[in-house]
Amino acid sequence: MVIFHLQFLNIFFKYNAELEEVLPLKKFVITISLVMVIGLLLGIFFYNQTPNQALPDIDPQPEEQSIDETPTQPEQIQGIYLNEQIGYSLQNDRLQITFDKGKNWITVPIEKDQLFAGEYNGNKQELIDHSYLLTENRTAFLYAEEPSWDNETIRILYTLDQGKTWMNSVVTEHYMGVRFRKVGFVDDQFGYIIISGGRTMSQEGSNVFLTFDGGQSWQETNNSGVSRLIADGGFVDAKIGFLSFGTINPEAPELYVTQDGGNTWKQATVNIPSEYANIFVQAETPFIEDDHLAVFVNQGPNGDYKGGLVKGKFISTDKGNTWVFSMEVSPDEANK
Amino acid sequence: MKQTSKKMNLIVGWILFILSIGVFFLQIGFLFFHERLQFEYIDNRLFYVFNMIFVICLFIAILLLLNLEKKWKVFGAVVVLIFMIPNITMIFQTNKEIKNIISVSPNFQHVLSLKENTKTGETYYYRSYFGILGRPKEKLPFQTNDRFKVDWLTDDIAAVTYKAKDKTVHQYIGTYGDRGTGISYYYVAAQIYGVWEGENARITNETEGLSVTVNGKTEIYKWDQVVQFGTLAIVLMKNNEAVWTIALNKDFNVEAAEKGETPGTILLYKATMGKTEPILLKRISSSM
């Protein structure tokens, strides 16, 4: 075998030693070389023409404009879209909204920093979840004016005609370090705002405000008296509303319910089957489903059951007082 | 003698020729498939470096294999030059636009790759594949300011310390391993229960959070100020800035920790742009 190889190599090199005289092989080397050089030159040319040899688009959010950058040309606005038509942008430190897929942008008369006032450490390239409504018929932004951290005025800026006219109303004054913020409307007239603030360690105050005139005036409801950190909340109609507590390592859902428009609050009983104890721990906002109420209870920030995103669906037939387990739902179903 | 040298020339010539074909197909494969498969060279400059390796190998191979006349040698050299100039230019140009930060682990097993868009301050962390390719994994949460410091705390934990545009200091931890079975996720903070002590440093895992004492100064980091990276490290935050990284050292064993046995050691590493060494801590008590 070895002898065979050696013989083969000898023949190979003998043949090669005369490469310059062996025209086909010489042609082969030159042709291949030329093809490769031309191919790669073309490759380099096209590679440099490709715009996305830059950085990927994992997170297509508009970036804040840095101070030393002065745009010399009108900039393309990169919107964050909530559906095919409606979106917003915080580009250039301005809040702008569009109702026609970015053809026209309407500047919202508000300072960007006011949207993130209070206790908020997240990124400021997207609006805080739940702190705004952006629909064809109603657009609203919760914000805070803060002469100082412990003296904030919580306001809501809203429009009912897609930004032609804006209205502004005070929700509450002398508020301290707003953390959680949520605004929602059940119908044209009735809406709610849930805020929390004054957090010390894992305790804070939470407050609920209701409007019965489409957002012009807001009245605070009675306080739930719970000082845990609020996770979510909302109303299903003008009477029945919910507050869900526990954001850091919750062990069981702590859901409070009112059935008289916020006059009284009591803790709802969520019957967690033993096999789901310590798994489904954080209630989301209940909603009306057929003739009963339903709520998804998620796994909190640390859940790892079936990947951590599966939720438990619970049903209540007594206006939210007691909840019984219905089924597990995948994140896709829960988001429908 | 002359015959041997000629043979050697031919061997080297053919090796270089085959090498250049290999590099050519690597480059063409990259050009055709990188968008579809969403990968890039781990350092953008590699594309141009490979082009230069290709042309140099090919040129030397041709010189060794073919007995060219002088005018063809000069022509070849000019082609090489024409080929090299734009590539060298692009190496510098591309790094001006996209700054590549590359660091190889001490055991040469892993490559940390970051790419920063110098205009926008966006920086992406890349997972490396086959040592030279990478896929973007995530965007660093803060706009960066062109200054990065990379330290490998162990062979599989790279700590990237950087200053954001608002001058705050942050840390991103690239993790390339596991201290458990490798099939399940676990919480680092939960694994380091008890009291840990090292040189002028002490960490106590309390109900509220982690208490860190260094040189007699104690700070408590609540659980919502603890950010986990992979299954190997956590970063402790205060006032929206990274303060410390706690990493599971190479000898840490999660299974031992779960059984209540001595799990190994941990490392405490300060988030600072200056030079700093990780502090080694051993568990002195399994209760608070």
R_g over Cα of chain B: 25
What's the token pair of residue A13? 């090199």
**Backbone phi, then psi, for A327, in 5-degree steps?**
-165, 170
Residue B236 has pLDDT above 90, yes or no: yes
pLDDT value for B287: 61
Residues 213-272 of A with CB under 8 A from B: 247-249
pLDDT value for A2: 41
Q: What is the pTM of this model?
A: 0.49
Count, residues in chain A: 336
Residues 276-295 of A with CB under 8 A from B: none
Among positive and negative, which fits the CA dihedral B51, B57, B60, B66? negative
* Chain-chain contact of A37 with B83 (C-beta, under 8 angstroms): yes
- C-beta atoms surrounding B101 within 10 Å: 19
Of residues B285 and A177, which shows the higher confidence score? A177
Averages of pLDDT over each 10 residues, chain A, 336 residues: 45 50 73 87 80 52 31 57 86 84 82 86 85 92 82 89 84 90 93 91 89 93 91 93 87 92 93 90 91 91 82 93 91 62
| Mutation target vs A (from B7, B123, B125, B126; most A CBs, 10 A cutoff) | B7
Of residues A258 and B123, which shows the higher confidence score? A258
Is the distance from CB of A256 to CB of A297 less than 8 angstroms? no
| Å between B224 CA and nearest CA of chain A | 7
* Angle in degrees, 0-180, between the axes of helices B46-65 and B2-33, rounded to the nearest 10: 150
Is the distance from CB of B168 to CB of B142 less than 8 angstroms? yes
Residues 115-154 of A with CB under 8 A from B: 121, 123
Residues 199-228 of B with CB under 8 A from A: 208, 222-224
CA distance A158 to A167: 5
pLDDT value for A16: 52
DSSP per position, A52-106: GGS---SS--PPPPPTT---SSPPPP--EESSSS-EEE-GGG--EEESSTTSS-E
Residues 64-103 of B with CB under 8 A from A: 65-67, 79, 83, 86-87, 90, 97-98
* Chain-chain contact of B121 with A52 (C-beta, under 8 angstroms): no
CB < 8 Å & 24+ apart, contacts of A88-93: A88/A127, A88/A132, A88/A134, A89/A62, A90/A62, A90/A64, A90/A124, A90/A125, A90/A126, A90/A127, A91/A62, A91/A63, A91/A64, A91/A65, A92/A65, A93/A64, A93/A65
**Nearest Cα to Cα of residue A312 among A265, A276, A264:** A276
Is the distance from CB of A104 to CB of A98 less than 8 angstroms? yes
What's the token pair of residue B11? 């061997």
What mean pLDDT comes out for the span B83-94? 87
Give tens-digit pLDDT for B199-210: 889 999 887 788
* Chain-chain contact of A37 with B55 (C-beta, under 8 angstroms): yes
| B240 closest CB neighbour out of A50, A63, A121 | A121
Is the distance from CB of A180 to CB of A206 less than 8 angstroms? yes
Q: To the nearest whole percent, how much of chain B has pLDDT over 70?
A: 95
Using CA coordinates, name the residue in chain A closest to B142.
Answer: A123
CA distance B201 to B217: 9
pLDDT value for A51: 56
pLDDT value for A4: 44
CA distance A30 to B75: 13
A43 touches chain B (CB under 8 A): yes
**CA atoms within 13 Å, Cβ hemisphere of B200:** 6
Beta-carbon contacts of residue B29 (< 8 Å; ≥ 6 apart): none
Beta-carbon contacts of residue B149 (< 8 Å; ≥ 6 apart): B160, B161, B162, B273
What's the token pair of residue B124? 């992406």
Dihedral (Cα; A280, A283, A286, A290), 10-degree rounding: 10
Within 8 A of B90 by CB-CB distance, chain A residues are 44, 48
pLDDT value for A6: 43
Sheet with B157-164: list strands edge to edge.
B144-154, B157-164, B169-175
Give tens-digit pLDDT for B34-68: 877 778 888 888 999 999 999 999 999 988 888 77
**Nearest Cα to Cα of residue A217 among A158, A299, A296:** A158
* Chain-chain contact of B222 with A202 (C-beta, under 8 angstroms): yes
Q: To the nearest whole percent, how much of chain B has pLDDT over 90?
A: 28
